[in-house]
Amino acid sequence: MKLIDFKVLTFDCYGTLIDWESGIWSAMSPLLGKVGRRLTRDEVLGVFARHESAQQAETPEMPYSQLLAVVYKRIAAEWSVNVGNEEANIFGASVPDWPEFADSVAALRYLHKFYKLVILSNVDRISFRASNVRLGVAFDAIYSAQDVGAYKPSLQNFEYMLGRLRQDFNLQPKHVLHTAQSLYHDHAPAKRIGLASAWIDRRHADQGWGATLPPAGAPHYDFRYESMAAMVKAHERESS
């Protein structure tokens, strides 16, 4: 199996192309200032992962910006901190401020010469709009949790995406390489539904799972790269 065997790259965005962990950490600063004890970045991200996943399971049709506000309040309650709706809503609206990884824009521009580029994201459409501007590329399709009414790792998201790819582009699962950082949200369900996948291991230098829950077992993936830039270099080698 080679990168050049595929016709479309389907991307998770947050954690893969957008540095959501830095964005979450920064947007949590008002709450962290009220906790009264020092928490490490990974501790905060781990608490976020737990509450985000639970809330997504409880309210799969809730748009992501609203869900983030609820998650903020859940975390505050766990830490015995009182927060108001305004502060929680500001956190919920923080997605447009989350920065892109330094290599994302150049990598996407290169890869778009060879593939259709598609987003399969857990955020809502409005939140993604600003991230799309940051990424500087016109994606061929964008499929959000808001479109599906479910959040990854639900197979509904992948079934929806594959149905749209067949309908709109006449693309079959064999043409798709799902490209993502999260083993929990993306690689495990991608394998269950029969998709090849490329792991962008953004946390290769870090311990733990960051802002995602740990996957059950060891999900299989077909390619592993430590960055999008490394994926581009691998494609260049195959194409030379």
Owner of token pair 């409005």: 126
Whether the Cβ atoms of residue 189 and residue 158 lie closer than 8 Å to each other: yes
Residues in contact with 52: Cβ distance below 8 Å, sequence separation at least 6, in sequence order: 67, 68, 71, 211
For the sheet with 176-180, list strands across it.
Answer: 141-144, 116-121, 8-11, 176-180, 196-200, 223-225
To the query of whether residue 12 is one of the catalytic residues in this protein, the response is: yes
CA distances from 215 to 3, 188, 189 (A): 25, 7, 10
Nearest CA to 199 among 182, 214, 211, 175? 182
Tokens for 135?
Answer: 């990424």
Catalytic: which of 12, 19, 124, 186? 12
b/e map 108-128, b = 16+ CB within 10 Å = bebbeeebbbbbbbbbbbebb
Give 117's strand partners. 9
Pairwise CA distance, residues 179 & 121, whole Å: 12
Task: Point out the residues that are catalytic.
Answer: 12
